[in-house]
Structure 1
Amino acid sequence: MRPVRGHLLIFDCDTSRLMRTAANIWSHLLGMLWFFVGLFYFYRHVLHYRPSVTASDAAAIALFYICVVICFLLSTCFHTFSDHSPDLHRFGNELDHLGIVLVMWGTGIANTYFGFYCNHSIRNAYFLALTTTALGCAVFTLRPKFRQPSYRTARFLMYVFLGSSLFAPCVHGLYLYGWELLNDRMSLDHFLGLAIINFSGAAIYAARVPERWFPKRFDLIGQSHNLMHVLVFAGAVVRLRGLLLTLDYWERQAVAGQTCMNSR
C-alpha cells in the first residue's frame, strides 16, 4: 500500500480554497470596474448629448451605479483580505453584508423615484419606509451572531424580507397605473428579472448547490458562492438596462411636453 503524502493533501486543499476565493474576488472586482466605468460614461453622455434629462433623473440612475460599485468593492475587499486575521475577517464580513443592504436600498429608491415620478407625497413616503427598513437590516448585520455559519438561513431570510419590501411600491403602482404604464415608468419587467436572478443566487448559496449534490467536483470553481457572485452581477446588469430604458421614457415625455399630464 502506498503511503499517504499529507503535504500533498494540504497543498491540494490550499489550492482549492485559493481557486474558489480568486473566483469570488475577480467576479466582483471586474463587475465593480464595469459599473465604475459605466457611471462616468453615463454622466458624460447625459451632460453632452441629453440636455433634456434632469439632474434628479440622472442622480437616480447614478445612485444605482454607486450602490452597485460600493457593494462589489466591499465584497472584493472582504474576499481578498478575509484570511489576514480573525478580526479583519469579521470586520470585512460586516461590510460585505452592509454592501448587500446598500445595493438593495439603492434599487428600491430608483424604482420608487421613477415609478411615482409625478406623485411626490407617495414617493417620499416610500423613500422613508425603504430607508428605515434598510437601516434596520444594516443594524442586524452588525450583530456578532449574524456572521456565524449557523445563521446562513437567517441571512437569506433577512435579504428576502428586504427584497420583498421593494415590491410594495410596485404593487401600489400596479394598482394606480396598470402593468403597461408602470412598466414604461419604471421598467417593471427588468426589476422582476433582477428579483428572480437574485433570489436564485441567494437560494443556491443557502442550499449550497451544486456542491452538496456532487461532493469534491466543484472544489476548485463553480460552487454555490461563485455562482451567487455571477448571478448578482447579472442581475445588476439587467436592472441597469431597465433603468436606462425608464430614463428614455421620461426623456421622451419631457421632449413631448407630456410629463405628468393627466397622471396620478
Structure 2
Amino acid sequence: MGQDKLLCLVRRHVAQARVQPTLSSEQVDLLFREPGILSGYRPSGQGFIYYFASILHIHNETINIWTHLVGFFLILYRWLSLLYDPSSSSDFLPVITAFSVCCLAYTFCSTLAHTLHSKSPGLHYLCFQIDYAGIGFYTLGCSIYVFYVSCYHQYFVTLRRYFLPSVVIMSATGCLCCCIAKLKYTRPYPFRRKLWQLFSFGTQTVLVFSLVLPRYVNCVSDPQCHLSSLSHHSNVVAFITTSVFFFSSHVPDKLIPGKVDIIGQGHQIFHVLCTVGTLLQFDTIVWDIKHYATMDMIPSTSAICLAMCSYLLLVICVINTLRPFVVDRIQKDLNFKTRLNNKLQ
C-alpha cells in the first residue's frame, strides 16, 4: 500500500513537470490580469509543486522569475567576492554585508512572489506584501550604504544619531503604503495606485540620494574636480530613474497588447534594470570606500543589525495586521464576481 501511494505521488509530480498549459486573460480572474498581457497565464488552484515546476516552463511570468533569480545569484557572487577580497576594507564590511543581504532579500521576495502569486487570491495578496517588504529592504540597504560611505561629510555629522531610525520607519511606511494601495484599489488599477507606490518608496530614495548632491555642487565650483569623478553615482541614478519609468508605465505592454506576453514586458525590463543598477551600486560602494569615506564614517555593526531586525519586525507586524483586510478584500472580489456572473446569465 505504501509503495502504491509513493508511485502515485511520483506520477502526479512528473505530470506537473510536463509542459504546462496556459490561459488567456479572459480565462483567469480579474485579480490576476495585467494590462496589455493577453495570454500566458497559469491556472490557479494548483499545488505548490506545480508553480515551482512552472519556473522551467514558458508563461508570462517566466522572465520575471528568472531575471531576479539570476540577479539573486549575481548579487550573492558579488558579495562573497568582496568579503574574500584581501584589498577590501574590513572597517566597512558591515555596510557591504547589510546592502548585500537587503538586495538578496528583494530579489528573493520578488522571485517568490512571481512564482506563487497565481495559486490563489489569498496567496496573491500575501506574495505581493512580501514583495513590497523586499523592496523596503532594498531601500533600507541603499540608505545604509549611501549614508556610511557616500554621504556629504557635514550631513553625516549632523544626521548620524537619527538616520538609521528614520530610514527604518520610512522603509516600513513604504511597505505599508504599497500594501494598502494593493488592497484599496481593484483591477484595472488606476494610476493613483502607482502614485501610492512611487511616492512611498520614491520619497525615501530622493531624500537619501540628496545626501550625495552637495558633492556635485562642490565639484562644479571646484576647477580641479571633474563631474566624471561622480559618474558612479550618476549611473546608478540613471538606472533607477529608467527602471521607475518602466515600472509605472507598463510600456510597451499597453502600446502593443498581446505582443510581449512572454518576453519584452515593461516589468521584465524593470527587473533587468534593477539588477544591473544593483550591481553598479556595489561598484559605487567600493569606489567611495577607497576614495571618499573617512574613518569617522565607520559604521556600528550592532546599530546596522538592530536597524535591519527592527525593519523585519515592523513588516511582519504590517502583514499580520492587514490579514483581516485581505480576507475582506477577497470576499468583496468574490461578491463582485458572483454579481457579474449573475448579470451575464
The question of a shared fold, defined as TM-score above 0.5 by the shorter chain, is answered with: yes
Q: Which segment drifts farther, 116-125 or 128-137?
A: 116-125
Post-superposition shift, 1:85?
1.6
- In structure 1, what residue type is equivalent to 2:251? V
* 1:13 pairs with 2:55: no
Structure 2 partner of 1:137: 174
1:34 counterpart letter in structure 2: L
Given candidates 68, 80, 84, the residue that maps to 1:44 is: 84
2:343 equivalent in structure 1 = none
Distance 1:87 1:80, change over 3 A: same
Larger Rg: 2
Partners of 1:139 and 1:75 in 2: CA distance: 17
In structure 1, distance between residues paired with 2:107 and 2:254: 26
Shift of 1:50: 3.3
Task: State the one-letter code of the partner of 2:245.
Answer: A
Does structure 1 conserve the Cα–Cα contact (< 8 Å) formed by 2:152 and 2:215?
no
Distance in 2 between the 1:250 and 1:205 partners? 33
Question: How many positions carry a matched residue from both structures?
Answer: 235
- Partner residue of 2:237 out of 195, 208, 211: 195
Give the alignment's Cα RMSD to 1 decimal: 2.9
Cα distance per residue 1:144-175 (max 9 Å; x no partner): 53675331342133232222121231235556
Q: State the distance in 1 between where 2:150 and 2:242 align.
A: 25
What TM-score do you get using the length of structure 1 for normalisation? 0.77
Aligned to 2:280: 238
Identify the range of structure 1 (96-105 vs 67-76) with the bigger mean alpha-carbon deviation.
96-105
| Higher helix residue share | 1
SS in structure 2 of the partner of residue 20 of structure 1: coil
Paired with 1:54 and 1:245, the residues of 2 have a C-alpha distance of 15
> Structure 1 residue aligned with 2:90, among 30, 34, 54?
54
**Change in 2 beyond 3 A, CA 1:117/1:67:** same
What is the CA–CA distance in structure 2 between the aligned matches of 1:244 and 1:141, rounded to whole Å? 32
Q: What's the TM-score, normalizing by structure 2?
A: 0.60
CA distance in 1, matches of 2:157, 2:145: 14
> Any stretches of 5+ residues in structure 1 without a counterpart?
1-9, 254-258
Task: Map 1:144-159 onto structure 2 (within 5 A).
Answer: 145=183, 148=186, 149-150=189-190, 151-159=193-201
The Cα shift of 1:120 comes to: 4.4
Offset of residue 98 of structure 1: 1.5
Does 1:78 pair with 2:78? Answer: no
Paired with 1:21 and 1:42, the residues of 2 have a C-alpha distance of: 32
Give the AA of the match of 1:68: C
